[in-house]
Amino acid sequence: MTVVVFGSINRDLVMRVPHLPQPGETLAATSYDLLPGGKGANQAVASARQGVPTVMLGAVGEDAHGTAMLAVLAEAGVGTGGVQRLSGPTGLAHVFVSDAGENQIVIVPGANAALAAPTVFPAGAALAVAQAEVPAQAVARFFTLAHEAGARTLYNAAPALAEGRGLLPLADIVVVNETELAFFLGEQTVPESDAALAAAARRLMARAGQWVIVTLGGAGVLAEGPDGTVRLPARRVPVVDTTGAGDTFCGVLAARLAQGETMPRALAVAVLAAGLSVQRLGAAASMPTRAEVELALA
């Protein structure tokens, strides 16, 4: 029931600002934090905090940020034996968070851009997870190895990039937000109604038996798959920082599916966990433990 995550590892430089800056605008931040991040690392931490064995495959630089990120992953219970240490810097993300909890992120790829595909897939793993912050060719190889080993594959197609289209058929489960959904369909507008969202998700399906899951922020999630449409709302919660909410969703979803839970149940738990994460500052730092999730479910 192990989850294997192949993806980015970053250090997040998080600044709180009154509002997100406009072009040419200079703002004074009200606070500054150096936090763990990267979509791959975030999703691995979210999975591990659900008590599910989780392995991270990624790369960091030979710098203090890399050392710190390895320690963060290990502390969260993530296996780091497959993390490469490369010459040069660790990936960095400059994150601005407004008083309303919205964020704006600029990423410096660093070691993530040089991440090579694994040569073998970890034995006994049930679910393989990847995102779009590492080279697409490496992700394709990772998914191929996962399928050969009998594991399911989950692709969080974020950020939305043209090369990500070629990876969609390799994923058993595709997770996108509304904007990413529109991008991959080549459409200018985001579907608004549930019926339109469901139809758009079906159009994105690359093959039979695939799940396409659309995260809707505070409105919850809509999923299309072999069992039809699953539409789940999110609880109304006070929002502190939305950074990492999508990664929390993906990591918890992967963990629960790896444990054998049904897709509707895993989706419900993942939506609730994402709602817990937005009530705290940071990405990996905000992700709930299994005990916190179970308490909220109760």
Residues tagged active-site: 247
Structure token pair of residue 247:
């990664």
Is 41 annotated among the ligand-binding residues? yes
**Residue appearing with tokens 């609730």:** 272
Helices 64-75, 39-48: crossing angle, 10 deg rounding: 20
Q: Is 286 part of any known ligand binding site?
A: yes
- Any known ligand binding at 219? yes
Annotated binding-site residue? 12: yes
User: For 146, what's the count of Cα atoms within 13 Å in the CB-facing half-sphere?
Assistant: 27
38 is in an annotated binding site: yes
| 187 is an annotated ligand-binding site residue | no
42 marked among binding-site residues: yes
| Residue 110 annotated as part of some ligand binding site | no
Is 160 marked within a binding site? no
- Annotated binding-site residues read 10-12, 38-42, 133, 177, 215-220, 241, 243, 246-247, 277, 280, 282, 286
- Annotated binding-site residues for substrate read 10-12, 38-42, 133, 247
- Annotated binding-site residues for ATP read 177, 215-220, 246-247
- Annotated binding-site residues for K(+) read 241, 243, 277, 280, 282, 286
